[in-house]
Structure 1
Amino acid sequence: MNRPPSATPLTLPPLPEQPAVSYVMPVLNEAGFLASAVHTVLAQQYPGEKELVLALGPSTDNTTEIARQLQAQDPRIRLVENPARDIPAGLNLAIAHSQHPVIVRVDAHSELTPDYTARAIEALRATGAANVGGIMRAAGSGSVQRAIARAYNSPFGLGGGAYHGDGVAGPAESAYLGVFRRDAVTAVGVYDPAILRGEDWELSLRLRRAGYGVWFEPALGVTYWPRASLRDLSRQFFATGAWRAQLVRKYGRANPWRFFAPGALVLGLTVSVVSLPLLALGVLPWASAWPVLLTPLVAYAAGIGFATVKIPGQQGLRDRALTAAVLTTMHLSWGTGFLRGIVFGARSVVDRSRIRG
C-alpha cells in the first residue's frame, strides 16, 4: 500500500561540524574513467575523515586491476565484490562495508567539484535533510558524446528534474547521486535491489514518505560523462524508460507527469506513421483526417528543429544534425521502453550499454 508523505517531518540528530564521510561507488567496466573519478573523491577539500568503498562488478575490461592498484596506493580505499553487477546491489554492499555517519554516492562516470563534500555537509547541517543533491553537468570528449552531453544539459533532452539545470535551492523530489545521513537511509531500508534503474528517485520517495527531507542544493556540482555512441545511448534510455514504467506500476500517482510524456510521444508518432500510407492510398480521407493524424509527427519534427536552433554550444550543421539524432534517440528509446515496461514490466530489462565482451 502506498502511504502519503508524513505530515510531521522527522528530526535527525545534529551533525558535528566535520563528520566522517563514506563514499560509495558501484563500478563495472569503467577502465577509462575510474582513476579520474577516484581522484576527485580523494582530493576533496574536506578535512574530516574519509573512506571510499568500491563495489566491483564482474568487469570484462581491466577495471578490477585498476581498482586494486588504486587501493594499494591509498589505504582509504576499500574493495568489495558485487557479483550481481547491478547498481543498487553494489550500493547496498558498499554501504554495508562502510562505517561513517554521512554517505556520499559517487558514480564512476562522474567527477566531483573539489568543494562538493564540504558544501554538501553544510547543506545537511543547515537544512536537517536526510538527502542532499546538486547539479549534474554532462561533458563530452568527442563529437557524438558532446552532442549527448548538450542534450543532457538541456530541457529539450531530459527536462524535469532540477538537477539538470540551474534551479533554486529547496525541497526536492529526488537528488542526483545523493549525500545521505546514514541513520535515515538505514531506517528506510537502503536501496531496493529490485529497482535496477531510477533507484535514486525510489529511495528519495521512501525517505520523503517516512518524513525525512530531500534537498536540492545548486552549489553542488558533478561532472558526468555520458555514453559516447547513439547505440549505447539507445540501450541506456530504453532500460531507463522501462524501469520508470516499473516505478509507475509500483507507486502510481506518486510519479510526476513527465514520466508519461515520452510514451505518449511514441504512441502519437506511431499513429502518424501508420496513417501516412493510408492517407496516401485514399483509405482515409485526406482533407479531414490529416490534421489530426499527422499532427504528432509534424509537431515533433518542428520541436526537434526548434531545439537544434536553441541548444547552445553547437558549431555548424554537423553539430545540429547530431543534436537532432541524439534528441530523437533519447525520446523514442525512453518512450518505447516505457511502453514496454507498462505492458510487461521491466524485470527482464537490463542496461547493457556499459557491458563489453
Structure 2
Amino acid sequence: MPVLNEERHLRTAVRHILEQDYAGELEVVIALGPSKDRTDEIAAELVRETASSNRARVHTVPNPTGRTPAALNAAIKASRHPVVVRVDGHGMLSPDYIQTAVRLLDETGAQNVGGIMHAEGENDWEHAVAAAMTSKIGVGNAAFHTGGAAGPAETVYLGVFRRQALEQQGGYNEEFIRAQDWELNFRIREAGGLIWFSPELKVSYRPRPSVRALAKQYKDYGRWRHVVARFHKGSINLRYLAPPTAVAAVAAGLVVGAAVTPWALVVPGGYLAAIVAGSVPAGRGLPLKARAQIPVALATMHMSWGFGFLTSPRSLAKRVIASRRPAVKA
C-alpha cells in the first residue's frame, strides 16, 4: 500500500484488509511517503495495534521520494508471500476480494487479476464525481470503471499478482509516475503472461475531495497516457482521443466565436448540452445538490485529461522510453 497524505482514509482502508474473509495468513506493508498530515502517526498506531496478531500484521517501509512506483517496489521487496495484493490508501476492498482473487489466479493461470474500481462518495461533491467516474459519458467503455464480462485484459485496476511474475519483470518501472500499472502489465503480457479482468473483484474508491484535486488527478492521467502512447505505438484508441479532441474543439469554438462569428459557439454549447444531458441518467437516485454537480465533474475530468494529453512534453516520453525494461520471459 503506497500512501501519501491519506489520514482521512488510511485506517478504514487497512481495516478492510484485516477483516478479509480469507483463510490464509496476511501481512500489510505500508510504504510511507513524505506526508504533511497524520498519515505516519496513523500508520504507527496500526503497527502497534496488530503487533501481537498471529494472522495479520501491519508494518511500514520508507518511501522518501513519494513516488507511487518506488513505494510499490519497496513494499513488495519487504513482503514475503507468494501472492501480492496492491491496495491504495483510499481503496476499500470488498470482504471476499483476496479470497476471490486467489481463486481466479488458480482457475485462469493468470499472472495478475483485477476488477472494478467502484467509486463511492461521502458528500455531495464526491457523489457527483463517483457518478461521473462510473458512467460511459465520463470514462467511455472502460471495464474497470463501468463493469463488463470477465476475460483477458491489457491492464487492470490495482491488481493481485503472483510474486514470481513481479520478480521476473523486476517490479515497476519507477520512471512511470503514473500509468505504472499499464507499463508493468504490458511487460507481463509481452513475456507471455495473462492479465485477467473479473467483475467479481470490486474495490470501493474514494474520489478526490475538490474540483482542484480532481483536475490535477485527470491532468496527470492525460499527460501520462500520452507518454504511454509514445512508449507503445498502437496502444491508443478513440476513447483516449475523445478528451483532447473535445478540448481542442471547445477552445477553437470559443476563440472563433469571440473573434469571428458567434455561430462557432455552437461547439462549446453542444458540449455543455451533452454533459448536462448525460448527467441525468448518471445521477439517478442522488440528492439534487449532487446531481447538479455532475456536469462540473464531467467537464473537469474531460478538459483536464485532454489538456494533460495535449501538453504532455515529448522530452518526458523520451526519458521514459530510454528507461524501458525489456520483458523477461521465464
Confirm or deny a common fold (TM above 0.5). yes
Q: Aligned equivalents of 1:346 and 1:226: distance in 2? A: 28
Q: Which residue of 2 aligns with 1:10?
A: none
What does the per-residue CA deviation read over 1:293-336, in whole Å, with 9 as the maximum and x for residues that have no partner?
55532431231122122213355653333011110011001100
Residue 32 in structure 1 maps to residue 3 in structure 2: no
Q: Which residue of 2 aligns with 1:340?
A: 311
Gaps of 5+ in 2: 52-56, 320-330
Contact 1:245-1:345 at 8 Å conserved across structures: no
Q: Secondary structure at the residue paired with 1:221?
A: strand
Code of the aligned partner of 2:102: I
Q: Secondary structure at the residue paired with 1:174?
A: coil
Q: Secondary structure at the residue paired with 2:233?
A: helix
Gaps of 5+ in 1: 1-24, 281-285, 349-357
Q: Aligned equivalents of 2:32 and 2:109: distance in 1? A: 32
Contact 1:172-1:215 at 8 Å conserved across structures: yes
Q: Which residue of 2 aligns with 1:319?
A: 290
1:260 positional shift: 2.1
Q: Which residue of 2 aligns with 1:297?
A: 268
Q: Aligned equivalents of 1:197 and 1:242: distance in 2? A: 9
Equivalent of 1:122 in 103, 107, 116: 103
Q: Secondary structure at the residue paired with 1:156?
A: helix
Q: Which residue of 1 aligns with 2:324?
A: none
Q: Aligned equivalents of 1:266 and 1:342: distance in 2? A: 17
Bigger Cα displacement from structure 2, 78-87 vs 245-254: 245-254
Code of the aligned partner of 2:272: A
Q: Aligned equivalents of 2:167 and 2:314: distance in 1? A: 33
Contact 2:214-2:300 at 8 Å conserved across structures: yes
Residue 57 in structure 1 maps to residue 33 in structure 2: yes
- Greater per-residue helix proportion: 2
Distance 1:96 1:315, change over 3 A: closer
Bigger Cα displacement from structure 2, 250-259 vs 138-147: 250-259
Q: Aligned equivalents of 1:202 and 1:174: distance in 2? A: 9
Q: Secondary structure at the residue paired with 1:308?
A: helix
* TM-score (norm. length: structure 2): 0.90
Contact 1:265-1:296 at 8 Å conserved across structures: no
Contact 1:242-1:346 at 8 Å conserved across structures: no
1:111 positional shift: 0.5
Q: Secondary structure at the residue paired with 2:22?
A: coil
Q: Number of residues paired by the alignment?
A: 314
Q: Which residue of 2 aligns with 1:73?
A: 49
Q: Which residue of 1 aligns with 2:70?
A: 89
Q: Secondary structure at the residue paired with 1:31?
A: coil
Code of the aligned partner of 2:101: A
What does the per-residue CA deviation read over 1:262-287, in whole Å, with 9 as the maximum and x for residues that have no partner?
1111111111111102334xxxxx7x
What does the per-residue CA deviation read over 1:94-140, in whole Å, with 9 as the maximum and x for residues that have no partner?
00111111100001101101100110011000000001001111111
Q: Aligned equivalents of 1:135 and 1:185: distance in 2? A: 22
Contact 2:283-2:294 at 8 Å conserved across structures: no
Code of the aligned partner of 1:168: A
Q: Secondary structure at the residue paired with 2:101?
A: helix
Code of the aligned partner of 1:50: L
Contact 2:105-2:111 at 8 Å conserved across structures: yes
Q: Aligned equivalents of 1:42 and 1:36: distance in 2? A: 10
Contact 1:135-1:218 at 8 Å conserved across structures: yes
Q: Which has the larger radius of gyration?
A: 1
Code of the aligned partner of 2:305: W
Contact 2:34-2:63 at 8 Å conserved across structures: yes
Q: Aligned equivalents of 2:181 and 2:161: distance in 1? A: 11
Q: Which residue of 2 aligns with 1:3?
A: none
Q: Aligned equivalents of 2:235 and 2:170: distance in 1? A: 19
Equivalent of 2:156 in 175, 199, 210: 175
1:179 positional shift: 0.3
